[in-house]
Amino acid sequence: MTAIRPRRRRRGSHALARLLKVAATLLVTYLYFAYAPDPYNLARPLDVTHPPTIVNDLKLRLGGVERCYQALARSGIELERLPDEVKGPGCGFEDVARLDQSFITWGDGITLTCPMLVGLAWWERHSLQPIAQDLFGSQVQRVRHFGTYSCRNVNNADGGRRSEHATANAVDVAGFVLADGREISVLKHWGDDSPEGRFLERIHDRACDHFDTVLGPAYNELHRDHFHFDNGGYETCR
Ligand SMILES: [Zn+2]
């Protein structure tokens, strides 16, 4: 009886297979960086006029403050960077800017960290406007807000930890004025079975794609008249 000997693999075919694998990887990498559309391409600079994608989110988180501000400048958003300031124990800000004009008018009192400003720009352009257009056939012209920076603790408590507002890393949004004159208010319309109520519900849910923390009237009584957004790193959407 003859024993069946295992066939010896040829060293040459192994080397060729490896070479082809490396060549294919290089080709795919080249094609990705050369041709992937900007919102999905890590080599292209962040552009807030493009839709937020997982790649854009990575660019924002890993790109650093200067690239963040460059992205806002490219989009035409007007702002003034402010000097760092310590205002009290646990209060003050670093690398913030005062918003003068975004895609929508916010009025005075918007001083925020750069990733928060990018979040607002994304929310305006890719959530507020398309949803307003869909429900009302009109655009949001103005946002009503309760401000950003405030040296205080979470929930205005006497003790406990500092709010993200204490480092200009949070904003409270109270309502909207549309181009057709219609007013939408979190206090008046949240929970309504009306286009205004549906608008608030949809933009609240979409905000959770742009900020770490999103709190609204469903969270607690203190938020009955506004949405709170911050980038403090605590992921919640309520
Ligand atoms: Zn707040």
Domain range list for the chain: 39-237
Distance 112 CA to ligand 1 centre (A): 12
Evaluate if residue 45 carries a pLDDT over 70. Answer: yes
Distance 12 CA to ligand 1 centre (A): 66
Please, what is the average pLDDT of the chain? 90
Evaluate if residue 29 carries a pLDDT over 70. Answer: yes
Evaluate if residue 10 carries a pLDDT over 80. Answer: no
Higher pLDDT: 37 or 140? It is 140
What's residue 161's pLDDT? 86
What's residue 3's pLDDT? 57
Evaluate if residue 48 carries a pLDDT over 80. Answer: yes
- Tens digits of residue pLDDT in 49-63: 888 888 888 888 888
Q: What is the mean predicted confidence (pLDDT) over 13-31?
A: 90
Share of the chain above pLDDT 70, in %: 96
Distance 58 CA to ligand 1 centre (A): 25
Distance 193 CA to ligand 1 centre (A): 26
Evaluate if residue 16 carries a pLDDT over 80. Answer: yes
- Global pTM value: 0.84
Distance 238 CA to ligand 1 centre (A): 13
Evaluate if residue 167 carries a pLDDT over 80. Answer: yes
Evaluate if residue 131 carries a pLDDT over 90. Answer: yes
Distance 53 CA to ligand 1 centre (A): 26
Q: What is the mean predicted confidence (pLDDT) over 61-84?
A: 91
Evaluate if residue 109 carries a pLDDT over 60. Answer: yes
Evaluate if residue 141 carries a pLDDT over 60. Answer: yes
DSSP symbols for the chain: -PPPPPPPPPHHHHHHHHHHHHHHHHHHHHHHHHHS-GGG-TTSPP-TTSPP-HHHHHHHHHS-HHHHHHHHHHTT-EEEE---EEEETTEEESSEEEEEE-SSB--S--EEEHHHHHHHHHHIIIIIHHHHHHHHSS-EEEEEE--S----BGGG-SSSSBPGGGGT-EEEEEEEEETTS-EEEHHHHTT-SSHHHHHHHHHHHHHTTT-SEEE-TTT-GGGTT-EEEE-SS--EE-
What's residue 1's pLDDT? 54
Distance 55 CA to ligand 1 centre (A): 28
Tell which CATH architecture fits domain 39-237: 2-Layer Sandwich (3.30)
Distance 82 CA to ligand 1 centre (A): 21
Distance 49 CA to ligand 1 centre (A): 26
